[in-house]
Each structure stands twice: as structure tokens, then as C-alpha cells.
Structure 1
């Protein structure tokens, strides 16, 4: 064996000696299993929740469908989602009727009757105001994610501004007061805090990201939407050039 062959053999031995050990069969199977969980878990949970909601609506709406108009009575199989479709059609027809003159008159008469009921009128008024505020987007409710010092000084909680304070509450201070809803984690309940706006720290975070952070108990952290400092420097250099 000449000198070149000896150097080649020694280099091959050295590379073999320093080559990192490959992942074993158990490690590969574990990695494949975790990858499968990461891929299928979000899909499975989404499908399960969607199917549960579909079955829940179907179970409550399907018995209300007259037999003559229920297509399942004429088919040898069940149709999933027939209750959801029926609910959408009924709500659309009710909306079209309420938009007309006769519909507005009927709604006005019905609200007048409800206003004369001591307990029902309070519940109806509160629910109507909440629905109109959320669906019609008449205010900036749940449009700002904030941090407040709660429940004590030095401890911060994530909250959502739901609007300005009531005029009667505003009388306690000359500063602008706001309503802040502080949800629990996971959000099964929450607290309504009334604070001066100067004590509220508004975050550069969307409501969706804030809800994800609360619902996951802080596990799912929203990404930083601000560009890194290097991009600011390059942008300034590009503008100066």
C-alpha cells in the first residue's frame, strides 16, 4: 500500500470515527409518532368540534321539522346537517320578513308587549343590546388587548377593553374610565374591571392572538409582529440611498 492509499485509508477511518451516531429505530419511531400527533391532532379536534356542533343543532332542530317537509322520511338514509340547513333557511326568512314594513310593525308590537313584563324585559333588553353590539359592530368592544395590574400591584393580567364606562361610573373620576373584561384561563368565567385609561397598557396584539393566549393558558404565544432591528437598519439605509 503506497503513501496515497495509506493517507486515504486513514482519512476514511478518521471520518468514520468522528461521524455522529445515527438515530436508532426507537428514536425514529418516536419522532414519527410525535410528527403524526402534531399533524393529526389539530385536524381531529377541529373535526370533532364541528361534528359535535352539527349533531347538537340537528338534534334540536330536526324534531321541529314537519314530517311532510323532512327529506329523511323519503330517503333510506339520514342526512347530516339537515337541521343546520333548516335553521339557516328559517333565520334568513325571518330576517327578510323583519326587514319589511309588516315585519317591523310586528317586531315593534312584540317589543312593546315584552317591555310590560317586569323580569323578561330586563333579560330581553340586555341580550338584544349585546347581540346588536357584537354583530352590528356599533362599538369597539373586544377590539383592544390590554394589560392591567390585577389582582394586585405587580401582577399583570390580560384583558380586553369592552367600551367606555357608564356615565354614572364616570362621575367618580375626572379621568376617562374604561370597562376591561379579564377572562380566566381557560376562559370559563371572568371579571369586569373599571379602570382609568392611563392604567391600561394597550398591546400590539390582535384579539385572536389574545384569545389564543388565554385559552391555551399561555402555552400558545403569538409571534412578534414587529420586524427585527436589522430590518429597520436596512430600511433606513435603503431610504437614505
Structure 2
């Protein structure tokens, strides 16, 4: 009887390991597509799929969002488009409350998404939360000049230490560069390693992510 229970438990765990990633992937995709489908509200009522075809078309909002992004990028590539964007930035920067939110988000997005930026380009090993422990972090840049003058002349780097399993929350820490270790893995691989709580690690040779959890 005990052997049968262990076998059933093994089957359940195996089934869970197979279906859980599929279910989460479908849930995330459904959330993204559902959110982007809200962009259809930008269309005139007569142009919406419900009016034209009599039923909604899932995913059409994704196509519309991509077209809007492409169109905006192409517009910004010429002089006239750049002037319009500068005018838009100046306008939003003059509106109380809005300017604080807009400028903060713009600064962060420009830093993270810029090709010339160094934010989240390196995965590091740092001592956290104390000197006898290590964790994975991502380099976000260097401390501001107002902060550096209080750091006794040592070279520091700014890092983001994500929490597990939700990496969108974490800690901003400034650590001595000499106390960091640059990891031989991409940011994507390091992120997967963090999210899986160390269960999924990149292969040292091929860089392929492989489970490291023992199944004994």
C-alpha cells in the first residue's frame, strides 16, 4: 500500500511539473492579449470588430498595438516627428502631478531600454543581506556624484537585488566593486535562476537552462 501511495504521489508530481508551466504560460499570454486588446477602444465605434463582424477577435489589439509602436518609431526617426515628440515632452513636463510621474517613468525607461545604457547588462554575485551570504544581483550603473562623495573614495557600483520568486520587487544597493563577482551567464539566465529559487541553472558549457533539483 505504501508503495502504491508513493507511486501515485510521483505520478501527481510529474503531472504537475508538466502542466504547471503550460497553465502559467497560457495565463500570462491571456493576460497580455486581454490587456492589449483594450487598445481597440482607441478605434471609432464603427470600426471595432464587434460592429464590423458581429463578434470580437482576440489578439487584434496586439496587432494594433504593434502597428502603433511601429508608426511612432518611424515618426520619431525624422526631424518633424522628433519636434512633435519634444513638444509632447515639454507639454507633459508642465502639467502638475503628471510631470512627476511622466519624467520618472521616462527616465527609467530610457535608462533600461537604451542601447547605450549599462543598466541590467551584467549579472553579479554580491554579498547580501550580510557579509557571510551571497546572492545574484544585476548591475544598474554607478552611484550618483552626490552619493559618491560620501563613500570614502572606494569604487562602488549600483545593483538591483531581486526577490524570489517575484523579481519585480527587490532592493537597490550600492556595494564595493571589489566585493562583487561578475557571473558568466546572461541576464536572462540569471533571472531564470533567481525566479526558480536556484532550481533551474544554466549549463556551464552550453548555457542551456537545466533543472538541478534531485528527484531521488
Q: Same fold (TM over 0.5)?
A: yes
Specify the alignment match of 2:19 in structure 1.
40
Contact 2:160-2:170 at 8 Å conserved across structures: yes
* Rounded Cα–Cα distance in structure 2 between residues aligned with 1:116 and 1:67: 32
Displacement of 1:193 after TM fit? 0.8
| 1:154 paired residue among 132, 151, 166 | 132
SS of residue in 2 equivalent to 1:148: strand
* Rounded Cα–Cα distance in structure 1 between residues aligned with 2:125 and 2:155: 17
Count of residue pairs brought into register by the alignment: 203
Structure 1: gaps spanning 5 or more residues: 1-23, 228-241
The CA deviation string for residues 68-113 of structure 1, in whole angstroms up to 9 with x for no partner, is 2223322243211111111222222222333333322222222223
Displacement of 1:213 after TM fit? 1.9
Q: Which structure has the highest helix share of the two?
A: 1
Structure 2: gaps spanning 5 or more residues: 208-216
The CA deviation string for residues 4-49 of structure 1, in whole angstroms up to 9 with x for no partner, is xxxxxxxxxxxxxxxxxxxx98887766655544443323321221
Q: Is residue 2:186 matched to residue 1:206?
A: yes
Q: Is residue 2:200 matched to residue 1:220?
A: yes
* Rounded Cα–Cα distance in structure 2 between residues aligned with 1:226 and 1:73: 52
Specify the alignment match of 2:112 in structure 1.
134
* Rounded Cα–Cα distance in structure 1 between residues aligned with 2:145 and 2:47: 52
The CA deviation string for residues 94-140 of structure 1, in whole angstroms up to 9 with x for no partner, is 22333333322222222223333454333322222222222222222
SS of residue in 2 equivalent to 1:162: strand
- Residues 95-110 of structure 1 aligned to structure 2 (within 5 Å): 95-110=73-88
TM-score, normalised with respect to structure 2: 0.79
* Rounded Cα–Cα distance in structure 2 between residues aligned with 1:143 and 1:98: 26
* Rounded Cα–Cα distance in structure 1 between residues aligned with 2:168 and 2:178: 28
Contact 1:132-1:138 at 8 Å conserved across structures: no
* Rounded Cα–Cα distance in structure 2 between residues aligned with 1:226 and 1:87: 36
Q: Which moved more, 1:97-106 or 1:198-207?
A: 97-106
Distance 1:113 1:51, change over 3 A: closer
